[in-house]
Structures are given as structure tokens and as C-alpha cells.
Structure 1
């Protein structure tokens, strides 16, 4: 299989702008590019407000892109017809961050999971109900739960319902948008393990969005780091954790707490100081320069991602 055939999702120079009043705009995504191969997971990390969720929603065309391309299995998502896009939504699904807000409280679990099945006319009658029961058991719930309402479940159980809903239309690609951030730590591990088991069983491909680097390391084949709408580093998981190159990535990794207090004391701590530049300012140059200890005049020109090793890309003039 050629490299081109292996790539399930290709995103190039993706841009998204939101108006903020007074004729000003907030450029939330500023030329984001990445590939995800079939059956793999790309972890997308960065602090709150950097545009991670906007990437996921724009990839699925929940937001219209203001520039760039999203190509899924050779088809341009943002230039597809309504009929073509309906077929794409069957193959591309999303697991949302908040398991309390993402489920309709007036619908039973069976109705929630069956909604996508009905829209795409996949199963009917007894087959439909059998499929709902199968999905509930697949995510670790009981078939009896189909007649209950969301308020009768815990946060972890609700997220399992959300996963079952995403799987109902038999997708190939799923955006996991902070799918574990609203859950207790013990439940987070269970949901991560469930996602990994489902990936192996069903051959799924994930875009896993999170700010929890330890969880991202556990589930991802490759990791992309974002800062204020820009991609600053991309690499395999092993490369990124063993040899981070961008100052921002180093700061994120040094902030991960470790269970060994002795090692925690001995390890190098990279402290990121200064204020976050406003994304609405639209200044040219590196957006991290106001917080970077290596910043120079050269940083007034925006750095482009360049390959520093096999599959290891970084956007920094000083690497």
C-alpha cells in the first residue's frame, strides 16, 4: 500500500475566523496541516483556547472553513454537495466533551443511539433494536439501559452512551473532543482503554483532542502541539516525549506531574512566563515570542514547520 493510500484524513492550511465585533476578527486557526493514517490516532494538544476543538469541528464541517482543505478518503469535505456530505457524516463522527450537555435529556438512551441509525436508514424494526443493544454491550453497558434517560446515569456511563451513539452509524473516523476531561481520573482510564479496544476491534481512526499529555501519550501514535491557532510541533509520540524541540512543547512536558517525588525534584522544569498574546491582534511573527526566553528580532517573522528529523516537524527559528 502506498503512503498516499494509507492516509485517511489530509488537512492542509486550515483556517477559521470568527468575528468579534467592531470590524475585528479572531483568527482561531491559522494554517493548520496534518495527516492521519488509517487505524492510527493523532493526539492534538495545547492549552485552553488554542483552537483544538475548532480544529475538530472544522474537520467535520460543523464549522465552515475560511481557508485550506480537509480531504477524507480523497473527497474534499468542505466542497462536497449536501448528498455527499450526508454520506461523509456517516463515516466521520464526534464524541463530545461534556457527557451531561451532549445527550438530549428528553430522549431515552435507545432513541439517542438510534437517531443516527434512523437518519441514515441503516437498520429497521427488530434489527434496529438489536443493533442498539449490541452497541450498549460493546461499550460496557446493559441492553436494559436502552429504556432509561440520561439523568439516570453517571458521567462515565453517559460518555459510554456518547461513544455508542458515535459508533451507531459504523464510522471509520472519530473526533474525540476532550472526551475524558469531564470525568473522574479513575473513569478516564476506563474510557481510554475502551476507546483503544474499540479501535482494535473496529479498525477506527481517531483525532484525540486533549490537554492531558499523559493520556495523549497512552493512546496516540503521533502528537501535534498547538499554540494560539498555530501548529508548533508534530512528531511521533516517542519522538515528542524523548526529544521535544519547541520551547512551548518543553514547557508542557515539564508540567506533567510524576508519581516519584525524587524524580519530580530532579527533572528539568521549563517555566513559561509572560502573558498570552491576544489571538485577535493578528500580529505577524511567532505568537509564542512574548513568552519565549529565546525570542529575537527573527521571531517577528512567522516560523514555518520544517522537518528536523524523520517525521519530526517544528516551527521555531532557534531550533
Structure 2
């Protein structure tokens, strides 16, 4: 009986010592990993430098630009600034719009279940309702006189004419997964680019809705996407190259038109930390980045 008791006590002591050693090794590894991530964040050098900041008194809901101006959607107002941030004009709109686009001197505003279309001076020109009462519209783009809008509720892309006539639904061959309203869409020439946030993909389509290709995938490293819904925003420059903006661990990455990663443009530290994705608009060598109540303009830096 005594030998059995000693054996049990010795076994218990061995387990306690082994557990303590394992805990210490894990803690050291965690600290090393955290330190490595910290050093990587702080040693990161961007190819872009901040040129100036436009401070917005209200929360930036979305923004768009034409050749000369920035159109900033904030609560129930559209503020128009020049591209240096100087105020030009503003006008009131219905609250809770989600996206804004400019086309042929008209301002298109997207709401969860309808569109409003204004003149540049703020006159309401016309409106149209969503093709489904259950729609939950998130983002839209205008290409070749058609409007393509993402619907988080029905998990598709809806195609309209610019006058509001419904044309077709576009479905993803992978199936759209939309855990949130991070369902961005944009276009270049005759190609539509859309995020599939739950699949961690960027997909492209013809204007007729034919699927072309996809890139991305799940992963923490640059060139891949993680979390419930990334990438959150996309934008294309004049060469058709692609910028993406992610949330969770915010960063902005740059890809060629075939989806090959070129570089990480801005990391979480340079974006000010937090967890929210920044909306982005690319214009030649300039990148406009919107956070809660400001828009930062970045230009290509000389290395």
C-alpha cells in the first residue's frame, strides 16, 4: 500500500512539473510571436507617404470622386470638396445611404432598398425601388450605362439600367457568403470586380454576368484574407491594378490585374490601428483612404 501511494505521489509531481515546463515553453513562444509581429509592424516601410488629411466633422459613410472633386457622404449630407480638401458645396439627402457614385453629372445614392439620383447641385432627379422587398443593398458600381448592386440578403448582384429598370441577377459560382455589409463592388471598362467576403475572394464578371476569374483565399499572410468577411473594400487604378482594404487587422494591399500581390501598401500601424476597414479610392499614383471622420491622401513615395 505504501509503495502504491509513493508511486501515485511521484506520478502527480511528475505531471505537475511537466505541465509547468509546457506552460513556460508556450508562454515564451507566445511572447516571441507577439514580439515578432510587433517588430514587423514597426519596421514596415510603405511605398506611399501621407500628403494631407481632410477632417470631416461627421462620420464618413462613403465617398466618391470625379475629375475635380470629392463627394463625401456623411449621415444625411453630401459634402463636395476639391481634391485638396477645400469645401465647395453641400446639400441634404435622406439619411442612412450606404454608397455613392457619380456618373454623367448625376449623383447616385444607394439605400438598403432603393436608389435616389441627384443633380450635382442637389436637386432630386428620380428614384427607384429595389426589385425585391427583402433586399439589403450594400454597394454598387456603374459601368456602360448599367448599375450593378450587391445584395447581402439575397446574396447576389442585381443589374439595372441607369434609369432603374431591372435587368438580371448575377450569382457567384462559389456562392456568395455575406456575414456583414462588407460586400464591395467596382468596375473597370467592361469588367465587374466584386468581393466574396465569406469566401475570402475577389471575383470578376463580364457586364452580362458571366464569371471570369477569382483570386485570394483564406490565410493571414499578405495576398490572402482572414476573418469573417475580408476584403472589405476594393478599388482599381487606371492600369486595372487592384487595391484591397481589410478589417480586423487593417491593411491595404496592392495587386496586379491578374491578382498577383505586388506589395502591402499600408499596415495597421500606419492606418492608426483599430479594427475597422478603411474605404479606398485609387487615382493614378494617389490613394484616398477614409476612416471614421477623415480622409487621408497618400502619394507614391521616393524610396
TM-score by length of 1: 0.28
More contact order relative to length (CA 8 Å, sep ≥ 6): 1
* Structure with the larger strand share: 2
TM-score by length of 2: 0.29
Which of the two has higher C-alpha Rg? 2
